[in-house]
Amino acid sequence: MPKVRTTSLSRRGLLAAGGAVGLGAVLAACGDSDSKGSGSDSASSSAKAGTWTFKDDRGVTAEAKSTPKNIVAFTGVAAALHDYGIEVKGVFGPTKTADGKPDVQAGDLDISKVEILGNVWGEFNVEKYAALGPELLVTAMWEKDALWYVPDESKDKILKLAPSVALWAAETTIPKAIQRHEDLAASLGADVKAAEVTDAKTRFEKAAARLRAAAKSKPNIKVMIGSASQDLFYVSLAKMSADTLYFQELGVRFVEPKVNAAGFFEELSWENVDKYDADIIMMDNRSSALQPDTLTSKPTWAQLPAVKAGQVIPRTTEPIYSYDKCTPILEDLAKALENAKKAG
């Protein structure tokens, strides 16, 4: 895992490293809900004099003389834009694995056709970025005004080169996050009324209905949200993440950890990993987190009721916010609930 500073980056860095909870494991100071865009009224694409504008979730309006074409984005955001037909020139963030294959966060991006400016936390090649002639930088936002995977050390240099857009990835829900990515894609020229988009939305709504029904049919099944590192196991609070907050709204019951001072997750030693009863465990699927098949050396892990019952499923901790990519997330959890039995 990437090393993490113990200063202001500690929470965001832990999140990026997979040692924290995933989506939404950030400060309560992320900003109140009034500051967050939740629909198309928060976006603006101006046609006057051929200019382009977009109001992002910081409340900042990005402006350009024409619709940006040379776009650089955080990998997951780039993958979402790709699903709407908007391609980027460069990416930063987890893009390829050690064996050269696309990272889970790359979605359907052809990673051979984009310039990778940085593949891990703290990496961002400013010189390569400048050489691309960027017209727009797009990334996620986990805490107010903090640009995801844009290093603090080089942020000022980076932001001087092109307008930037930040979209909330924390303390929102999947539908709201998808809408904001769709707003941006539309402003960049995407046809959001195209059949593939509307059909994907229909499938998403069907999957949401299925998950709601599954949760209602299994009111006694409790789900734990986990992320594993070599030394610690992290249990996250559902309401702080776009995915699990939405699942909660659909009726899924989650373990509620006794969170630390930051208020978003609880760190457990492996000796205490059995602190909470859970029938299903959703495990952080990012390449920076230890995966269940690597935890066999942890005796306490093997003894967990959910593990014994074979009720451990992947969690797409940083979803790609398009209807196409979020639908399987809902379907997989619905299937897990439909098939789940009390494990403890």
Phi and psi, residue 71, nearest 5°: -105, 135
Tell which residue, 76, 110, 106, 72, has the closest CA to residue 89: 72
pLDDT recorded at residue 240: 87
The residue type of 300 is T
Element at 168 (helix H, strand E): strand 164-168
State the Cα–Cα distance between residues 7 and 29, nearest whole angstrom: 16
The residue type of 251 is G
**Is residue 126 packed enough to be buried (19+ CB in 10 Å), middle (13-18) or exposed (0-12)?**
middle
Mean pLDDT value across residues 117-127 = 96
pLDDT recorded at residue 15: 55
Q: Strand, coil or helix: what is 74?
A: strand
State the Cα–Cα distance between residues 58 and 94, nearest whole angstrom: 23
State the Cα–Cα distance between residues 243 and 7, nearest whole angstrom: 28
Tell which residue, 33, 277, 29, 27, has the closest CA to residue 176: 33
Tell which residue, 286, 21, 329, 301, has the closest CA to residue 177: 329
Alpha helices by DSSP H, listed for the chain, are 10-17, 75-83, 126-131, 155-159, 174-187, 195-217, 242-249, 299-302, 305-308, 323-339
Split at pLDDT 50, 70, 90, the class of 30 is very low
Tell which residue, 147, 148, 187, has the closest CA to residue 55: 187
Render pLDDT for 250-301 as a digit per residue (tens, 0 to 9): 999 999 999 887 777 899 999 999 999 999 999 999 988 999 999 988 999 9
Split at pLDDT 50, 70, 90, the class of 23 is very low
119: Cα separation from own chain's centroid: 16
Give the 3-state DSSP-derived string for 8-46, with helices as H, strands as E and coil as C. Answer: CCHHHHHHHHCCCCCCCCCCHHHCCHHHCCCCHHHCCCC
- pTM for the complete prediction? 0.86
Phi and psi, residue 136, nearest 5°: -160, 135
Q: Strand, coil or helix: what is 341?
A: coil
Mean pLDDT taken over the chain: 88
Render pLDDT for 225-236 as a digit per residue (tens, 0 to 9): 999 999 999 999
Split at pLDDT 50, 70, 90, the class of 316 is very high
pLDDT recorded at residue 330: 98
Split at pLDDT 50, 70, 90, the class of 2 is very low
State the Cα–Cα distance between residues 295 and 251, nearest whole angstrom: 30
